[in-house]
A and B are shown apart, each in its own frame.
Chain A
Amino acid sequence: MSGTEDKAAEEGSVMPSRRTVLVLGAAAASTVVTIRPALAQTAGSVLNCEIPVPGPHAAGSHIARDGSLVPPGTPGAAPPLARPLRGEEARMLLRGSTPPGVQPGSSQAYANYIRRLQSGMSGFTCYASLQMPR
């Protein structure tokens, strides 16, 4: 062990001096933010896009409160939306409000469905375009 320490002491010049406090933080904290591709605000503001809820891959499914897809008739689940959401409506849902024509009790389920959209699924690029930095 001591050999390693000597070697490290020689390289110590690249390190800050002793006694500086280094906080390792809590387990749940986060010290790394990875820059992700942002189709950004841009597409949101320049495009007219739509999010079907649910997408064609799950047509007929109902949406549970957590946004997952469940069979029709599941208690507490929201029915499919008759027409796709427009960008502005999706944005309202994500902000926690209810756009016209949507049952207030169902809006949380739809918002969570949108949050769970992933790359490749219908509506994803639209959702991505609604991600706004604050």
Chain B
Amino acid sequence: MRSARLLVQALRAPETLRDPDWSALIAAARAEQLIGSLAYRLENLDIPPRIAAILEAAQQDAAQVRTQALWEAEMCRRALAETNIPVVLLKGTAFHAAGLDASIGRSVGDLDILVPRDRIEEAEAALIAAGWERMKAADGYDDLYYRRWMHELPPLVHATRDRMIDVHHTILPLTARPTPDADALIADAVELESGLSVLSPADMIVHAAAHLIADGDLAGGLRNLWDIDRLVRQFAADPAFWPTLAKRARHHQLERPVARALRLAERLYATPVDRAVAGRPSLSDRLFEARLLARNGWGQEKRKALRFAFYVRSHWLRMPPLMLARHLWTKARG
């Protein structure tokens, strides 16, 4: 069995594991950044002592990752407090801050926040005043590219904590064909006790789907899909969730990525989905599934051609053809 398949099984139905190849499972979980989530899913199961010790350490590590992520959010809040700019936490930090099931064992790398587009430069200045620094040369092509075409500032890194922050003003590059309504994302965000906000439940799913299906090459996609599984299972307890999700997905022009993400979550993690929103299975779902599972028992990525196809697709989605040519040309000329 491909180890990615084993990882998916272990997350979906841990009780069905029968003397698996533990080293392969651990390698896949680490490669997919799901070791923390796996550690909590396998709690209370009868597993070999060495693996139990690894998973226990992974749980403790996840707790520390959570502390760090929440602290970065808090330091960002402090830095922006006097500007009164509304700050919406995104992705992993948002799950942790809102205490969602998706945060259990969830790894977090950078801090991602969403602010109104017309205040993004003010936010950047306040962050720089509070100790964050620009990472890339401020006069290079990359910087120009970011500012003109991307949905975020060039990343900033904190001078003493070495942690990165990505300041977004929307959730897809401006060049991508769908145009999500960033104002609505911010207007409907849910404020937390700290004063920071997170996206509304439906928007959170829309963002996760956009990130997975419409904005990347699906590398590391098993974790994003696991987020979607956990979020959907928790949010679907509210009867208004599915109709709201359908409406929001349409509003943000992301119906198809949302439907695709839901179908993939269903295929891999047996997520209960509303057929009216997820749509009928399509043949191409299999390609996506194969791409997500392209990892062997040593943690190596397999199926090079398929991965390359998705890589090209990710650029195609982000840029109109002429711009893609210009981008690749500028990169190549260095």
Is there a contact between chains A and B in the complex with CB atoms less than 8 Å apart? yes
**A interface, CB within 8 angstroms of B:** 34, 36-37, 56-61, 68-69, 118-121
Which of the residues A56, A68, A119 comes within 8 Å of B162, measured between beta carbons? A119
Contact A36 B160 (CB under 8 A): yes
Most buried by A among B133, B164, B334: B334
Closest 8 CB pairs of A and B: A59-B334, A69-B137, A119-B162, A60-B334, A118-B157, A119-B157, A58-B137, A118-B135
Q: CB < 8 Å: which of A36, A57, A59, A119 contacts B136?
A: A57
The number of A-B residue pairs with CB atoms under 8 Å apart is 36
Q: Is B239 an interface residue (CB 8 A)?
A: no
Where the two chains meet, the residues of B that have a C-beta atom closer than 8 Å to any C-beta of A are: 133, 135-137, 139-140, 142, 155, 157, 160-164, 334
Contact A57 B140 (CB under 8 A): yes
Q: Contact between A121 and B135 (Cβ–Cβ < 8 Å)?
A: yes
Q: Which residues of chain B are near A118, meaning CB under 8 Å?
A: 133, 135, 157
Residue on A nearest B133 in the bound complex, by CB: A118
Residue of chain A at shortest CB distance from B156: A118
> Whole-angstrom distance from the CB of A118 to the nearest CB of chain B?
5
Q: Name the A residues within 8 Å of B164 (CB-CB).
A: 119-120
Report the bound CA distance from A60 to B140 in whole Å.
11
Between B137, B139, B157, the greatest number of chain A beta carbons within 10 A of the residue's beta carbon is seen for B137
Show 20 residue pairs from A and B whose CB-CB distance is below 8 angstroms, ordered by the A residue.
A36-B160, A37-B162, A57-B137, A57-B142, A58-B136, A58-B137, A59-B334, A61-B137, A68-B137, A69-B139, A69-B140, A118-B135, A119-B135, A119-B157, A119-B162, A120-B135, A120-B157, A120-B164, A121-B135, A121-B136
Q: Tell me the minimal C-beta distance from A110 to chain B in angstroms.
A: 16
Distance to closest chain B CB from A79 (angstroms): 14
- Nearest chain A CB to B224 CB, angstrom units: 21
In the bound complex, what is the Cα–Cα distance between A34 and B71 (angstroms)? Answer: 15
Establish whether residues B162 and A36, one from each chain, have CB atoms under 8 Å apart when the complex forms: yes
Of chain A, the residue at the smallest CB distance from B137 is A69
C-alpha spacing A19/B142, complex, angstroms: 59
Residues on the A chain within 8 Å of B334, using CB: 56, 59-60
Give every chain A residue within 8 A of B155 (Cβ-Cβ).
Answer: 120
CB < 8 Å neighbour of B160 from A34, A58, A69, A120: A34
Q: How far is the CA of A69 from the CA of B137 in the complex (A)?
A: 7
Complex-state Cα separation, A88 to B157, whole angstroms: 27
Bound-state Cα–Cα, A118 to B157, Å: 8
Separation of A74 and B233 alpha carbons in the complex (Å): 59
> For residue B142, which residues in chain A have a CB less than 8 angstroms away from its CB?
57
Known: A69-B139, A118-B157, A119-B162. 17 other contacts (CB 8 A): A34-B161, A36-B161, A36-B162, A37-B162, A56-B334, A57-B136, A57-B137, A58-B140, A59-B334, A61-B140, A68-B137, A69-B137, A119-B135, A119-B163, A120-B135, A120-B157, A121-B135
Q: Which of A36, A37, A61, A120 has the most CB of B within 10 A?
A: A120
In the bound complex, CA of A36 to CA of B157 (Å): 14
Contacts of B162 in A (CB 8 A): 36-37, 119
Expressed in whole angstroms, the minimum distance between the Cβ of A60 and any Cβ of chain B is 5
**Which residues does chain B contribute within 8 Å of A121, judged by CB atoms?**
135-136
Instruction: List A contacts of B140 (CB < 8 A).
Output: 57-58, 61, 69
Distance in Å: Cβ of B136 to nearest Cβ of chain A? 6
